[in-house]
Amino acid sequence: MLICPLTKMTAGFALGILAGVILGADSIIFKPLGTLFLNLLRMIVVPLVVLSLIVAVNHSNPKELGRIGLKIFPFYLISVAIAVVVGIFFGKLTNPGVGLNLPMDATIETPNKPAFIDVILNMVPNNIINAMSSGDILAVVFVSIVFGLTILLMQHAESEREQNMGKLLLNIADAGNEAVAKVLNGILQYAPIGVFGITANTFGTQGMDMVIALGKFIGTSYLGVIVMLTVIYPLILKLFKVKVIEFYKNIKDAIFTAFATSSSLSTLPISMRAAEKAGISERVAKLTLPIGTTINMDGTAVRFGVAVIFASEIMGIHLGITELATIVLIGTLAAVGTAGVPGAGLIGMSIVFAQAGLPLEIVALTAGINVLVDMIFTCGNVTGDLVGAKVVDQSEKLRDSEII
């Protein structure tokens, strides 16, 4: 019987704790195993973001994307931004990383954080290749969406030659996306060993302090997503005159499947059926849910907010209002560029941490508890997709009634 990579990571995490406790400071011998894992994460980030976004944008046609897309894309961006804020808020409330130090034999340099306006301007790169090679994810997201939209328009052009070229480019991107998914799966197969190395090295000096900190990280993550499910989404649904309890009853199968599988993509067929039960038109569901599965990651965004506070407290870095606003923007776009498969939240965290100047070692450290938190994060992701679809459907029905 095959064992899920997330289960293996949990086992690696537990063995790392055991090795760290037994060997103490000598557990540093396992550090190279963790370093290799970090390098693999850095390697896959840019191709994953570029190809998944190009393919996601092409899951529609220009006419529908024009009207319905103008409704669903802003909703996704706003809901993800709210989720990042929720994560930051509860992270500040519980202080999961206070009193913890990251054991490193070399000093980790924190790059200077650019001003908020510079972050916005730098989204448009003057050199695409440099943006990709330097890991400037905000610029990569912008360029990927632009090229994705261009390929979409080419496929629906009047010229048959241009249509064929558009289809060829999409097929190439689709094939590349599939290849990247397989590479990511391979990284997740190695991840338990990397998690073991990071965890053993860390617990060798931290001991129970780390157990307590990660326990607080898990609790804060669950709290943030639960607030999204019980407070934020109901408020949004109420604004559009949706009966909240009835809506949740209709989509409960999708929520439970998301929790059990930890995969938005695997839950998509159940989400489509749940959308039908919730009275969402097939036209809206078929456009919004596949795109939402790829780019709308509310639960994952909560994780980014909590993780940034967790890491900044470990590193002793104070984040002011400007830095937090920048992180909300980075977290929003990172969530948009994170694929809906188990474990890919690690990639999103790597993006946020790299842009915020925080060490990726902490990303690897939290990987061991992925199996515990991915379930609730996926619930947030899938529920957010369905709430967005319902909101757009309500607005479309209102528009149709006005036309009549």
Between 266 and 36, where is the model more confident? 36
Between 260 and 282, where is the model more confident? 282
Q: What is the pLDDT of residue 108?
A: 43
Collapse the DSSP code of 319 into the 3-class scheme (helix H, G, I; strand E, B; otherwise coil) and give the result: coil
Angle between helices 370-403 and 69-94 (to 10 degrees): 140
pLDDT cut 90: percent of the chain above it: 19
Q: What is the pLDDT of residue 73?
A: 82
Tokens 């939290």 belong to which residue? 366
Residue 130: how many CB atoms within 10 A of its CB? 11
CA distance 341 to 182: 11
pLDDT digits (tens, 9 = 90+) for 304-337: 889 888 888 888 777 777 778 878 887 777 766 5
CA distance 206 to 214: 12
Q: Which residues in 88-213 belong to E strands, given as ranges?
A: none
Residue 350: how many CB atoms within 10 A of its CB? 21
- Mean pLDDT, residues 111-124 taken together: 61
Residue 195 has pLDDT above 70, yes or no: yes
List the domain boundaries for the chain: 5-401
Q: What is the pLDDT of residue 368?
A: 66
Q: What is the pLDDT of residue 66?
A: 66
Between 184 and 183, where is the model more confident? 183
Q: What is the pLDDT of residue 60?
A: 64
Q: Based on the number of CB atoms within 10 Å of its own CB, is 254 exposed (0-12), middle (13-18) or buried (19 or more)? A: buried
What are the structure tokens assigned to 225, written together? 């997503």
Residue 264 has pLDDT above 80, yes or no: no
Q: What is the CATH architecture assignment of 5-401?
A: Orthogonal Bundle (1.10)
Q: What is the pLDDT of residue 171?
A: 93
Q: What is the pTM for the complete model shown? A: 0.69
What are the structure tokens assigned to 34, written together? 């963790």
Q: Which of 86-100, 237-251, 303-317 has the highest mean pLDDT?
A: 237-251
Least confident of 4-13, 239-248, 287-296: 4-13
Residue 122 has pLDDT above 80, yes or no: no
Please, what's the b/e burial string for 292-328 (b: 16 or more CB within 10 A of its CB; e: otherwise)?
Answer: bbbbbbbbbbbbbbbbbbbbbbbbeeebeeebbebbb
Angle between helices 282-295 and 69-94 (to 10 degrees): 40
Q: What is the pLDDT of residue 362?
A: 77
Residue 2 has pLDDT above 60, yes or no: no
